[in-house]
Amino acid sequence: MARLYTPDTEPGQGPEEGGETAPPACRPARPRWSDRVGRWRRGWWPAGLALALALLMTLHSKVPNTIGNLGSLLQTFLPWVGLAIPPLVLCAVLRRSVTAVVAVLVPVLVWLNLFGGLLADKTSGGGALMVVSHNVDADNPDPAGTARDLVDSGADLIALQELPQGAVATYEEELAEAYPYNAVQGTVGLWSRYPLTEAQPVDIGIGWVRAMRTSVEVEGIGEVAVYVAHMPSVRVQFRAGFTAERRDDAADLLGHAIAAEELPRTVLAGDLNGTMNDGALAPLTSELRSTQGAAGAGFGFSWPAGFPMARIDQILVRDLEPVSSWTLPATGSDHLPVAARVDP
């Protein structure tokens, strides 16, 4: 018997079939923003991951170091955690989920709260004292060229770390004309345009000298205590995790020495093998102020030189006002030199 269709009925939509049918198999239904109910009910997984990411960044200082120093490892590369945000945004858009989009805004705001201030250019003119710090790398194939690059920076003070004994004479020869005053203790040294006094090693519990203290009479500022340090190296190992225990102990000893410093104006320059986000460096950051955080432009990553991922080379100050902070071009080292200008 022929079936009669009216303008209000189409094949497959007669009363005997129960009205509207599901979309054909060849055209599966896709999420739509216009689906007011579905767009709030979809995307729970990306929403949950976004909130977990925001919580991790917010509570990064609470992540313990009891297992493989995971807290310090997270804090060392904390800015890079933000790279997880773009994939979450993509998932939210593909799912056409308002819930996920709103949730992804939370880690975005947390990241901006933590690091947004570093993105602004806070540099200004002036600076009565310019300091450069550089881990020159014991395996540097061109120490003479590195020294000449540092002279070209025009710094007043140059703090060097990882000085091999066989290359000290080369650095002294290349730097002597511009920096007539210098002091070397173990594998660290300071070259200066101004006279140095009371140079002495600082014990940071390593067994050989990798930290020193001296004082500099700076024109227009007065006497400044200058510490040069190279904290023990850290590694990421499969079984041991983030091996930062020796560095943490060294930071504690150096922090005590700086806390006992009688001169109010103090500079610490060196390879600290840690970032200012790392809570394990609190003995230092509680006494001193980061020039990069106060007067830099961007993150100022200094290591590795080929593709910098972390700011582990620092210039920290007390009772001095940072006016600019930046990194210098690469030398023959695996670290970039860092520089800062300060005023009294």
pLDDT at 246 over 70: yes
Judge if 217 and 291 occupy the same domain: yes
Judge if 55 and 150 occupy the same domain: no
| Last residue within a domain, chosen from 98, 119, 140 | 119
| Last residue within a domain, chosen from 83, 100, 119 | 119
pLDDT per residue over 39-83, tens digit each? Answer: 667 789 999 999 999 999 999 999 998 888 889 999 999 999 999
Burial label for 133, CB within 10 Å (0-12, 13-18, 19+), is: buried
| Last residue within a domain, chosen from 90, 119, 148 | 119
Judge if 247 and 335 occupy the same domain: yes
Residue at 27 is within a domain:
no
**Separation CA 105–CA 101 (nearest Å):** 7
Residue at 222 is within a domain:
yes
Cβ–Cβ < 8 Å for 267, 289: no
Split at pLDDT 50, 70, 90, the class of 26 is very low
Judge if 114 and 135 occupy the same domain: no
Residue at 97 is within a domain:
yes
The set of residues, in sequence order, having a beta carbon less than 8 Å from that of 233 and lying 6+ positions away, is 247, 273
Phi then psi for 229, rounded to 5 degrees?
A: -145, 150
Judge if 226 and 249 occupy the same domain: yes
Judge if 184 and 273 occupy the same domain: yes
Judge if 63 and 107 occupy the same domain: yes
Mean pLDDT of the chain: 90
Q: Tell me, rounded to whole angstroms, the distance of Cα 268 from its chain centroid.
A: 17
Judge if 148 and 297 occupy the same domain: yes
Judge if 220 and 75 occupy the same domain: no
Residue at 47 is within a domain:
yes
Question: Position 270: which residue type?
Answer: G
pLDDT per residue over 261-298, tens digit each? Answer: 999 999 999 999 999 999 999 999 999 999 999 999 99
Residue at 278 is within a domain:
yes
Judge if 142 and 255 occupy the same domain: yes
Residue at 249 is within a domain:
yes
Judge if 162 and 253 occupy the same domain: yes
- Assign residue 191 the CATH number of its domain: 3.60.10.10
Share above pLDDT 70 across residues of the chain, in percent, rounded to a whole number:
88
pLDDT per residue over 183-221, tens digit each? Answer: 999 999 999 999 999 999 999 999 999 999 999 999 999
Judge if 257 and 292 occupy the same domain: yes
The domain in which residue 154 lies consists of: 129-343
* 123 vs 12, more confident: 123
Residue at 9 is within a domain:
no
Cβ–Cβ < 8 Å for 155, 339: yes
Q: How many structural domains compose the chain? A: 2
